[in-house]
Amino acid sequence: KTPYVVSSKSYTAVAINAAAKTGEWIKSKVGSSLKMSTKYSEQDLVTEVDKGAEQMIRRLILTHFPDHAILGEEGVEPGPDASNLALQAVKDEEFLWIVDPVDGTTNFVHGFPFFSVSIALAHHGEIIVGVIYDPIRDELFVAEKGKGAYVHGNRMQVSQEEHLSDGLIAVGFPPDPSFALPANMAAVQALAPKVRNLRAGGSAALHLAYVAAGRLSGYTEIGLNPWDIAAGALLVQESGGMVTSTAGHPYDLSVRHVTASNGKLHHELITVLKEAKATGIAEDK
């Protein structure tokens, strides 16, 4: 392993620049007529803006770091195991950028103002930079490994709720009606009576950024992909929170069933999901 010695500053600057420029362009396309198609399921939408945004981000990264690898959502064939295979192919790269050009495409298409650009950089599989940009609110969330996480320059800290009964918890529904929907409905059913309330905003990346910012106590979703989680996971960790699989195992890039929280109510959150067999993981059933 090459030790990670280069200052992450330049990587972070490139990530911020790519997220901000692309986010502005995405925002300018809200409400315009869009070429749209479906991916793996009827619910899984993709637009010309998703594809164009990914191209922009790739170009901006490769201009500075031509030999770095990029795993971007729109570069991966749709399908239930496609992201695992795509990750396998690049996971040993020294520098790997993990890109979700538009997280919350359904919201974008409907003009529901909750979507984001998510860009992470991993060094030998360890995430060292995470940037999420919400172009509607002009909110920029930035984390560097070991250096904290910031929203527009202000240090973020997770919320303080100790128990689920005081917690505002986000959930989600990936566009996979066969596996993800039943699994996530089971999680909703288990959590609803135990929490203060549930939210489903429709952008995994922003849910994670909101856990980091202390606006949500926790977030759990079954059936995500690496680009939905990578940047947000570092934001949560660097804000003092916790990120694991839904079964409570440590987070790494291969985790697709994720639970993030302020740390304090993490155990309770995982316990409820496990007791209800609502982790989405076959061994727990």
Which residues in this chain contact ligand IPD in the complex, by CB under 6 A? 73, 100, 102-105, 172-174, 202-204, 221, 224, 228
Q: SS3 sequence, the chain?
A: CCCCCCCCHHHHHHHHHHHHHHHHHHHHCCCCCCCEEECCCCCCEEEHHHHHHHHHHHHHHHHHCCCCEEEEHHHCCCCCCHHHHHHHHHCCCCEEEEEEEEECHHHHHHCCCCCEEEEEEEECCEEEEEEEEECCCCEEEEEECCCCEEECCEECCCCCCCCHHHCEEECCCCCCCCCHHHHHHHHHHHHCCCCCEEECCCCHHHHHHHHHCCCCCEEEEECCCHHHHHHHHHHHHHCCCEEEECCCCECCCCCCEEEEECCCCHHHHHHHHHHCCCCCCHHHC
The count of residues in the chain is: 285
| Residue closer to ligand IPD, measured from CB, 127 or 132 | 132
- Closest separation in Å from C-beta 282 to ligand IPD: 19
Site string for Ca ion, 35-74 (x = CB under 5 A): --------------------------------------x-
Residue 103 touching Ca ion (CB under 5 A): yes
- Closest separation in Å from C-beta 274 to ligand IPD: 21
State the amino acid at position 96 in one-letter form.
L
Residue 210 binding result from ligand IPD, Ca ion, none, given CB thresholds of 5 to 8 Å by partner type: none
- Closest separation in Å from C-beta 176 to ligand IPD: 8
- Closest separation in Å from C-beta 26 to Ca ion: 11
Q: CA 163 to CA 84: how far, in whole Å?
A: 34
Binders of Ca ion among residues 223 to 262 (CB under 5 A) are: 228
Q: CA 74 to CA 47: how far, in whole Å?
A: 10
| Residue closer to Ca ion, measured from CB, 228 or 238 | 228
Residue 173 binding result from ligand IPD, Ca ion, none, given CB thresholds of 5 to 8 Å by partner type: ligand IPD
Q: Map tokens 């070991």 to a residue.
A: 146
| Residue closer to ligand IPD, measured from CB, 18 or 264 | 18
Residue pair 47/35 in contact by the 8 Å Cβ criterion: yes
| Residue closer to ligand IPD, measured from CB, 203 or 220 | 203
Of the ranges 84-92, 97-105, 106-114, 144-152, which one interacts with Ca ion (CB under 5 A)? Answer: 97-105
- Closest separation in Å from C-beta 17 to ligand IPD: 21
CA 164 to chain CA mean position, Å:
22
Residue 144 binding result from ligand IPD, Ca ion, none, given CB thresholds of 5 to 8 Å by partner type: none
Q: CA 109 to CA 184: how far, in whole Å?
A: 23
Residue 134 touching Ca ion (CB under 5 A): no
Residue 172 binding result from Ca ion, ligand IPD, none, given CB thresholds of 5 to 8 Å by partner type: ligand IPD
Residue 104 binding result from Ca ion, ligand IPD, none, given CB thresholds of 5 to 8 Å by partner type: ligand IPD
| Residue closer to Ca ion, measured from CB, 51 or 264 | 51
- Closest separation in Å from C-beta 155 to ligand IPD: 26
Residue ranges binding Ca ion (CB under 5 A): 73, 100, 102-103, 105, 228
